Amino acid sequence: MDGTSRLLIMGGAAGPDLLGRFVELSGGAAARIVVIATASEAPATAEQVYLQRFSEHGAGTVRALRLSCRAEANGPAAGAVLREATGVFFTGGDQERITGVLGGTAVDSLLHELVGAGRVVLAGTSAGAAMMAGTMIVGGDRPGVTADSVRTGPGLEFLPCVLIDQHFAERGRLNRLLSAVARYPHELGVGIDEDTAILTGGDSFEVLGSGAVTVVDAGAATDIRVPPAGPIVLAGARVHVLPAGCTFHLTGRRPVTGPPSPERERAT
């Protein structure tokens, strides 16, 4: 999978295994990691947390890139920092701050170029994960599967044709993901649990971490009706619950589940 985009998309609350994996993918002792905390209301604190963690995991160099406004994201200083990086990490917070500050800027273009060329591993957690998709969920936690139980907006499209939701099992968000894919059945719904991630490579992703990734595919649905208010009809959607080791083919919309390990046998 060399030469293709590597995205490490984490569902929030990433533990040492995932953070260590990011350092390793970025080059380990040779890694030059850049932390961008634009999503956070307290960027200095968020930067400090991840600078320390990535250093503890043995990254060669780690630095923060503070991008608080579009002028900074269009300025020459940011580009110089990013061109040196082997890994870029987006913290959590509010995904609309990322798209609002970075969307369409020189940093946005440069990141796509560097990631597409395989020169940078792009990682993000929570809001930093949501913004990577073609469409991101920006709000909505009403129960039920209804048009107004989810609000979406365009993401930065590092991973197009996918709609990412995070803190997935922990916040019981399957209904809101079902609502989103019922409205946009061309988008594959990918719900990522906390301390869990997908790592893309080529046209597929692998699941990493302690939880699971839930893929909801409304492309297979035989009947979808979305009234402006009230419950949605969604018949025949597919759902896949995939823990660590499982692989999913994106264009084929099918899981390629991993080999069973001894502790993965069916319970009796």
Active site residue ranges:
126, 167, 194
Q: What is the total count of residues that contact a second copy (CB under 8 A)?
A: 52
Short-list 128, 126, 45, CA closest to 89 = 128
Q: Closest separation between CB of residue 14 and a second copy, Å?
A: 16
Q: Which residues pair with 191 in a beta bridge?
A: 165, 214
- Residue closer to a second copy (CB basis): 66 or 238: 238
- Residue closer to a second copy (CB basis): 110 or 224: 224
Query: Interface with a second copy by CB under 8 A: which range of 45-53, 102-110, 122-130, 240-248?
Result: 240-248
| Residue 219 lies near a second copy (rule: CB under 8 A) | no
Contacts of 151 (CB under 8 A, 6+ apart): 137, 138, 139, 140
Rounded Cα gap, residues 29 and 24, in angstroms: 8
Structure tokens belonging to residue 89: 């990490």
Q: Which residues pair with 196 in a beta bridge?
A: 209
The span from the first CA to the last CA of the chain, in angstroms, equals 38
Q: Pick one of 65, 73, 163, 174: the residue that binds a second copy (CB under 8 A).
A: 174
Q: Closest separation between CB of residue 139 and a second copy, Å?
A: 16
- Mapping DSSP to helix (H, G, I), strand (E, B) and coil, where does residue 119 land? coil
Query: Interface with a second copy by CB under 8 A: which range of 74-82, 98-106, 153-161, 258-266?
Result: 258-266
Query: Interface with a second copy by CB under 8 A: which range of 44-52, 97-105, 126-134, 167-175?
Result: 167-175
Q: Which residues pair with 61 in a beta bridge?
A: 32
| Residue 17 lies near a second copy (rule: CB under 8 A) | no
- Residue closer to a second copy (CB basis): 111 or 213: 213
Kind plus residue range of the DSSP H or E element containing 20: helix 16-25
Binding mask 79-118 for a second copy (x = CB under 8 A): ----------------------------------------
Q: Closest separation between CB of residue 188 and a second copy, Å?
A: 14
Short-list 224, 221, 267, 191, CA closest to 12 = 191
**DSSP one-letter string for 137-174:** EEE---SSSBGGG-EEEE---SEEEEEEE-STTTTT-H
Short-list 205, 199, 197, CA closest to 167 = 197
| Residue 224 lies near a second copy (rule: CB under 8 A) | yes
Q: Pick one of 49, 106, 161, 244: the residue that binds a second copy (CB under 8 A).
A: 244
The amino acid sitting at 215 is V
| Residue 237 lies near a second copy (rule: CB under 8 A) | yes
Applying CB under 8 A, which residues contact a second copy?
143-145, 147, 169-175, 178, 182-183, 193, 210-212, 214, 216, 222-228, 230-244, 246, 254-255, 257, 260, 263-267
